[in-house]
Every structure is written in C-alpha cells, then in structure tokens.
Amino acid sequence: MKFCFVVGSLFQQKAHYTTTYLAYEAWRRGHDVAYASVEDFALGHGHKITALSAKAPPKTDWDRPTFLKALQDYNLRWVTQNLSEYDVLFLRFNPNVSPEIEEGVFAPALDLAHQLLDLGVRVINHPEGLRRSASKLYLSRFPENLHPRLFVSRRSEDLKDFLRELKKPAILKPLRGCGGKNVFLIRSAKEPNLNQILSTLTERGYVMAQEYVPGPKPGDKRILLFEGRIFARNGIPAIYRRVSPRGEIRSNMALGATAETTELTQEDLQIVEQLRPQLQRDGLDFVGVDIVGNKVIEINVFCPGGLGTLDRLYELDLTPSILNSIESRHRTEQSTLEIHQ
C-alpha cells in the first residue's frame, strides 16, 4: 500500500507526534510512505493532482526518531508525485492553528483531497466531514444529552442573557481555535471583567458559552476512536486522563497538563455509541473525544493526537490496531474490485 501524510510542515514534526507513529508503523510494515505539506498541492493538465513530497527510503532497522530524522534531512530528494496513485491520504494538519490563512490554503487543499477521494483514494478524515466539523459548533449536531448546555452568538448582550439564565459557571471560548487559547471560566454574569472578555472574543467572531461541568478530578478523559470505535491492543483501550495543572481549568498538554491512566467505563461506551452514527455519516474515522463526567466537551477531528501519550503511559504502542483496520478494509475493497472485474 501507499500512504501519504499531509502535514503543516514536515520540519515541525516530532518523534512523539501521532502522525509520526502512524507513518512509522506503515513504513515498518513495508508500505510506501511519503510526507507532503498542505501548501504544496498542485492541479495541472488532465486535472492531475500532485504534491511535492518527501518519500521515506526502503525499510531498514531504524527506530521512530531515526525514521523521522531521515525524512527531515535537508539533503533528501523531494519529488513531485501523483497523489491519485496513493491508497491512503492522511490529512494531518490543523487549520485552527492558523485560521487566518484557512481560505487561502486549507480550503483548497480540502477541495483537492475531495477530488482524490472521488478517484478512489481513501482520505482520512473525509474532507467534507472536516469542513463540517471545523468549528466547535459541530458539537451541536449531536444529541443534547451528550454535551453541556451551550449557546452561540456574537452579541455580547445575548451571551450575558444566557449566563444570567444559566445561573452556573460557564466556559467562554471562540468557535475556532485550539490549545486552550482564549478560553475563559466565567463564574457568574456579574464577573467584573466580563465585558472586556466578551469584547475581546466577539471582536474575532462567534463565541460559544458552554455550561461548566466539574469532573470528579481536574481535567478530562481523552478517548481515541477509529472507524467509530475505541481501538485497543492487548486489551488496552485508547483512553487516558489529562490532569489540569493546579489552578487551571484547561487540560491541554501544551499548557502543562499531565497524563495518567484511567478506566474505560460503561458510561464512556454508551457515549461513544451515541456519537458513532454522526461521525460515520461524516466520514470522520480518526477522532479524539474529550469527556468530563458524562458530558462530551469537545470532539477533535483535525489532527487528533494521543498515540505517543498512550505508548508512554501503558508502555504499549496502540498504532498497529489502526493499521490493521486500514489494511483489512483495503484487502476487502481489492477483493470486491477483483470480483466485479
């Protein structure tokens, strides 16, 4: 099989990133692996879609860090490759990191990825699903019992009215963004600096006010799904707890949160069962779900991470279970194709 991983920049990748885990496991199994930047797509004569790509050398006994270092070697020969010749295109970039350039770079990349999908390339995640779920509004597509009470507006007075009616602490955050940036805990509508916070947030776009859900412990649970199910290996499921730093409501690892093992509960399984139909309709195969108590706080569809954290916590790489699923589906599709030829 041939895999292409589309990232923001190859040179910003790290050995512990989920993308590296996926690419390395595919390469370790003997598949062709290449990296391309989201900024290096092209469409030319005959509507052929290409990308300037760094192709991994033939399989050796390299470990994961050495594999990535070799790909990042500036002397490596980059070549323009026809992307329709690939079996799997992994879209591993996040427009929420730089939303200001989305229309100029990321939106056309999704359009081109959709054309590749029509040509028979499996694209993970589905470009239309990514477009549909690009903001935190995506949470509102799921049953209300799954997520905290929420309200979205760009009008400060409407947001204040919601906070007054809620009579509970709430989280204010922009619809677009990641890494916990511009996320505020508002304890009541009488918060002294509420006007300033709302002014800052609404100036940049629509704002989500979300009921604050305190958990039994600071932080949240991160569950990783592939093809609508919690994947596992040797009985260990893809779940861990992110513990917020002392005095911090956000549980982003980039902000100093720590990770620890946790149990998969029956309640977690029930939540995933309710999420699955919509995720599958939208073609969102690889997803990270953040849960506090019995509520889904966020659904991460652009470049979800956690494989490195799971490996460190459980001393077990769960990536093979994802590659097993991809290979199995590919074999089935190839067999079906041969039958109809």
* φ and ψ of 309, to 5 deg: -65, -45
Q: Topology of 149-211 in CATH? A: Dna Ligase; domain 1 (3.30.1490)
Q: What is the pLDDT of residue 257?
A: 76
For the 216-328 domain, the top CATH level (class) is alpha beta
* φ and ψ of 271, to 5 deg: -65, -45
DSSP states of 141-168 as a string?
Answer: GS-GGGS--EEEES-HHHHHHHHHHH-S
Is pLDDT above 90 for 217? no
Q: What is the pLDDT of residue 206?
A: 94
Q: What is the pLDDT of residue 204?
A: 87
Check if the beta carbon of residue 172 is closer than 8 Å to that of residue 139: no
CATH architecture of 2-124: 3-Layer(aba) Sandwich (3.40)
Instruction: Give dist(CA 147, CA 295) in Å, integer.
Output: 5
Instruction: Give dist(CA 341, CA 321) in Å, integer.
Output: 31
Least confidently predicted of 24-33, 244-253, 255-264, 331-340: 244-253
Q: Which residue has the tokens 């692996």?
A: 33
- Please measure the distance between the N-terminal and C-terminal CA atoms of the chain and give it in whole angstroms: 20
Least confidently predicted of 89-103, 121-135, 170-184, 305-319: 89-103
CA dihedral 150, 103, 105, 250 (to 10 degrees): -20
Instruction: Give dist(CA 137, CA 150) in Å, integer.
Output: 10
Instruction: Give dist(CA 69, CA 63) in Å, integer.
Output: 10
User: pLDDT tens digits, residue range 68-94?
Assistant: 999 998 667 789 999 999 999 999 998
Instruction: Give dist(CA 63, CA 43) in Å, integer.
Output: 35
Q: What is the mean pLDDT of residues 223-246?
A: 94
Is pLDDT above 80 for 227? yes
Q: Across all residues in the chain, what is the average pLDDT?
A: 91
Tokens coding 256: 């100093």
Tokens coding 57: 């050398």
Q: Which residue has the tokens 């062709």?
A: 32
Q: What is the mean pLDDT of residues 214-242?
A: 92
3-state secondary structure 293-322: CCEEEEEECCCCCCHHHHHHHHCCCCHHHH
Check if the beta carbon of residue 296 is closer than 8 Å to that of residue 273: no
- Overall size of the chain counted in residues: 341
Tokens coding 243: 């513990």
What share of residues in the chain are helix, strand, coil (percent, to 5)?
A: 40, 25, 35
Q: What is the mean pLDDT of residues 35-45?
A: 94
Give the count of alpha carbons within 13 A of 101, CB side only: 9
Check if the beta carbon of residue 87 is closer than 8 Å to that of residue 330: yes
Handedness of CA 25, 9, 302, 39 (dihedral sign): negative
Q: What is the pLDDT of residue 75?
A: 67
Is pLDDT above 90 for 218? no
Domain spans, the chain: 2-124, 149-211, 216-328
User: Residue 133 — pLDDT band, cuts 50, 70, 90?
Assistant: very high
Q: What is the pLDDT of residue 58?
A: 86
Q: What is the pLDDT of residue 79?
A: 92
Nearest to 212 by CA among 182, 250, 175, 178: 250
Q: What is the pLDDT of residue 94?
A: 84
Share of the chain above pLDDT 90, in %: 78
